[in-house]
Chain A
Amino acid sequence: KAGVTQTPRYLIKTRGQQVTLSCSPISGHRSVSWYQQTPGQGLQFLFEYFSETQRNKGNFPGRFSGRQFSNSRSEMNVSTLELGDSALYLCASSLAAGEGPYEQYFGPGTRLTVT
């Protein structure tokens, strides 16, 4: 089975712009979670989607949003980019066949640099 894929792998944007990142989960996985990884804050949970619905959201401003499509692919969007948004954005997928945080399988990440 193919793993979690994320596009693009690298991105450079300017302050004030917006960006859209894409994630394709493992085939059969219906849950997609997004995380932000920075040297200072470590790994922080952004949000989780299951069956096209946002199930949970971390403590991030409204500039961070996401969605999930019927094929379980997910996108996250960051509007009005700030320098502090520079980070590695990780997507993770899981079966989510029932309750509980089933094992999450991570993609390679998108390295976003804001200048």
Chain B
Amino acid sequence: AQTVTQSQPEMSVQEAETVTLSCTYDTSESDYYLFWYKQPPSRQMILVIRQEAYKQQNATENRFSVNFQKAAKSFSLKISDSQLGDAAMYFCAYGGGGADGLTFGKGTHLIIQP
């Protein structure tokens, strides 16, 4: 079974600074997808960024980018120019190549200090 580990239960960053959230996973599959989701307080889960395992190029979405290290099974999220609206729980998720549900990490609570 696949597992996803987020080793940082909570992170704090000053507004406008850069923060990196860590995620590692374990799988025996070669074809899979990785996602970062954001869940603001009392609001719904939002997809932040997606990475296909077969792509070597790291995904980027505006201020959000990932560092995907397939051999190390690492998938970190970098948030540049942090904004107050970035405060949320961030979940790393793994999706297998078949029709499986997503496996989520426990989440990282990101605090933005004004």
Contacts and interface: CB of A to CB of B under 8 A. Distances in A.
B102 A45 contact: yes
B11 interface: no
Contact of B101 (A3, A33, A107, A108): A33
B25 to A, nearest CB: 14
- Chain B interface size, under 10 / 10 to 19 / 20 to 34 / 35 or more: 20 to 34
A87 interface: no
B64 interface: no
Given A56-B101, A100-B33, 5 more contacts: A43-B91, A45-B101, A100-B31, A101-B100, A107-B44
B35 to A, nearest CB: 7
Interface of B: 31, 33, 35, 37, 43-47, 50, 91, 95-107
Nearest to B91: A43
B44 A108 contact: yes
A8 to B, nearest CB: 15
B39 to A, nearest CB: 8
Contacts of B43: 108
Interface in A11-43: 33, 35, 42-43
A90 interface: yes
Interface string A89-101: 0101000100111
A59 B44 CA distance: 24
A100 B95 contact: yes
A43 B104 contact: yes
Contacts of A90: 45
Given A48-B99, A50-B99, A108-B44, A103 B104 contact: no
A87 B65 CA distance: 31
B44 A109 contact: yes
Contacts of B106: 42
A65 interface: no
B101 A99 contact: no
B45 A101 contact: no
